[in-house]
Structures are given as C-alpha cells and as structure tokens.
C-alpha cells in the first residue's frame, strides 16, 4: 500500500539556502526579529496545493499577539527584500500573499513555474502591501 504522504505535492518545501539569506538579512538589520515571526506565521498559512497565503494582517497580529501596525510594517519590509508579494487574482479580484519561491515551494515543477511568474509579476507591480 502506497503512503498518501509520498506525493511531493502534499508538502510545502522550505529551501535551506534561502534560510541562510534570511538570517543574513536579520543579522544585517535589513529585517527585524519581529519580521521573522511574521514570516513564520505566513508559512503557517501557506496552502500546500496552491502556494497561496490567504490571511489578513489583522489575523497575523492576533495570532502573534502583536500590534497590527507592526505586522503591516513587517509585511512591507518582507516585500522590500523580495521575500513576499501581494497578488490579486485576475478572475476574482481577491488578494493573497505569495512567499518567494526561493524560500518556499509547493507542488509540481509546473505549479512552481506558474507561482514564479505570479510572484515576479506581483513584485514588479506598483501596488503596495497596504
């Protein structure tokens, strides 16, 4: 009997090299320690099928027992260092976050390629996180 956990699409993969880059950003004070907490909270909400993160800054603030303004500032810093992007679904108009595919990836090669395009396009857009 094949285990249901053998399918690579049922996992969110965190890439080791990029973790080191995040640590360098923290050590260089380009990111604050609270940004790491927000990043970890975002990871918790990643959908392993789509890679989408559908969570509001208010929900993150409640979960971390932080001020929502601090969460918003952290989200802006994470975007500034290209770890996070805010994406608007063209069909529904709903927004969600995507984490850098260098840091986290989901699904098949095809899914990862699609997420790369969406992430790159969202980083290039003028729409701020707010």
| Tokens found for residue 89 | 């679904």
Residue 6's pLDDT is: 56
**Residues 27, 45, 128, 124, Cα dihedral to 10°:** 80
Please report whether residue 130 resides in a domain. Answer: no
Please report whether residue 7 resides in a domain. Answer: no
Residue span of the structural domain in which 34 resides? 12-123
Q: What is the pLDDT along the chain (130 residues), one digit of tens a residue?
A: 455 555 555 677 777 778 889 999 999 999 999 999 999 999 999 988 888 999 999 999 999 999 999 999 999 999 999 999 999 888 898 999 999 988 888 887 888 888 889 999 888 875 554 4
For residue 70, give the CATH number of its domain.
1.10.10.10
Which of 52, 108, 59 has its CA nearest to residue 84?
A: 52
How many domains would you assign to the chain? 1
Cα–Cα dist 38/49, whole Å = 21
Residue 79's pLDDT is: 94
Question: Could you count the other beta carbons within 10 Å of the beta carbon of residue 31?
Answer: 22
Lookup result for tokens 């918790």? 44
């Amino acid at each position: 009997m094949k285990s249901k956990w053998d399918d690579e699409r049922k996992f969110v993969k965190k890439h080791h090299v990029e973790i080191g880059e995040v640590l360098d950003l923290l050590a260089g004070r380009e990111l604050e320690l609270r940004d790491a907490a927000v990043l970890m909270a975002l990871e918790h909400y990643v959908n392993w099928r789509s890679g989408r993160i559908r969570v509001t800054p208010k929900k993150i603030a409640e979960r971390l027992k932080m001020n929502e303004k601090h969460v918003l500032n952290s989200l802006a810093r994470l975007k500034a260092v290209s770890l996070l992007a805010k994406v608007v679904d063209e069909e529904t108009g709903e927004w969600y976050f995507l984490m850098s595919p260098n840091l986290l990836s989901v699904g098949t090669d095809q899914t990862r390629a699609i997420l790369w395009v969406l992430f790159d396009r969202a980083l290039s857009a003028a729409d701020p996180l707010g």
